[in-house]
Amino acid sequence: MSAATLLGAQAPADAAAAREVLLDVRAISKSFGDRVVLSDMSMRVHAGEVVAFLGANGSGKSTTLRAVNGLIEADSGDITIAGVRLSEASAQRRAEARRTAATVFQKIHLVQRRTVLQNVCAGGFARLPGWRSIPPLFPRSLQEEAMVCLDRVGLADRAHDRAGSLSGGQQQRVAIARALCQRPRMILADEPVSALDPKAADDVMRLLRRLAVEENLGVAAVLHQPQLARAYADRVIGLRGGRLVFDSSVLDIDDVELGSLYL
């Protein structure tokens, strides 16, 4: 039995169809100069599911997530986040919608000399317009909320330690707590486990799956390990050369198809 099955059965595709759509990407394309890196890419993320992006280096996985979180803008196509169609929304509505999708990166970017709690509070502060840097003191209510977020990732007992004293896997869980402090509906994780050892990678993936199953968050994670997708995702999106190759329930896809992405 896979770890994901223990945490909650991986949903068949028709179950996902009945859930709320948190992210709807329709036919987006993106070029850098004359280089097309994403063509007609479409995908959805539903509440309560983990979607894994797989594909060789340069296949467009991160570009898709960046078009969602606003680090880049797609050249064409449509993105709807939490019911807000970005192309038709005001700049303020677009920013609000994008804040419902918190991003976690491979490079963890905690302020190492600050405490774990202060780093998590920064996620709550990021909800405020005009936020730039971590202030020395956070309001008590925000500290309490940050403690709850740390508890959700199993690190409340490390709240007052310096972030730099934690292991890589623990720091990634703190980064996820910081993302939770933004009160997202969805977590976009761009290679969240690529820098971690196998045990820490499992811990982080198990946490993301638990947040989906128990808290109804949507999770979209770029992964380089097909076996982690198989263990922890409900759906797998395969990309090759900026094009969607498949979008399947993990129950319907075999190792040959997964492996073919890397040929």
Q: Which residues form the interface with ligand ATP (CB under 6 A)?
A: 32, 37, 55, 57-63
Min dist. Cβ of residue 230 to ligand ATP (A): 18
- Measured torsion, CA atoms of residues 43, 41, 85, 186, in degrees rounded to the nearest 10: 40
> Among residues 48 and 242, whose Cβ is nearest to ligand ATP?
242
Tokens of 26: 């329709």
Q: Give the nearer residue to ligand ATP in terms of CB position, either 63 or 103.
A: 63
Please report how close the Cβ of residue 227 comes to ligand ATP at its closest, in angstroms: 16
- To ligand ATP, the closest distance from the beta carbon of 44 in angstroms equals 19
- Compute the least distance from the CB of residue 151 to ligand ATP, in Å: 32
Q: What phi and psi values does residue 96 have, to the nearest 5 degrees?
A: -65, -45
Name the residue nearer to ligand ATP (CB basis): 70 or 154: 70
Strands 21-32, 76-81: pairing is antiparallel
Give backbone dihedrals phi and psi of 253, rounded to 5 degrees, phi first: -120, 140
Nearer to ligand ATP among residue 47 and residue 244 (C-beta): 244
Q: In angstroms, rounded to a whole number, what is the distance separating the alpha carbons of residues 71 and 182?
A: 17
Query: ∠ CA(6), CA(11), CA(12), 5° rounding?
Result: 135
Min dist CB 121 to ligand ATP, Å, is 30
Cβ nearer to ligand ATP, comparing 11 with 37: 37
Which lies closer to ligand ATP via its Cβ, residue 181 or residue 237?
237
Closest CA to 127 of 142, 117, 106: 142
What DSSP element (H or E) covers 22? strand 21-32
Closest distance to ligand ATP from the beta carbon of 219 (Å):
17
The residue behind tokens 């999708």 is 101
Tokens at 202, concatenated: 């499992």
Q: Which of 38, 43, 40 lies closest to 25, judged by CA?
A: 43
Triad 135, 141, 208: Cα angle to 5°: 85
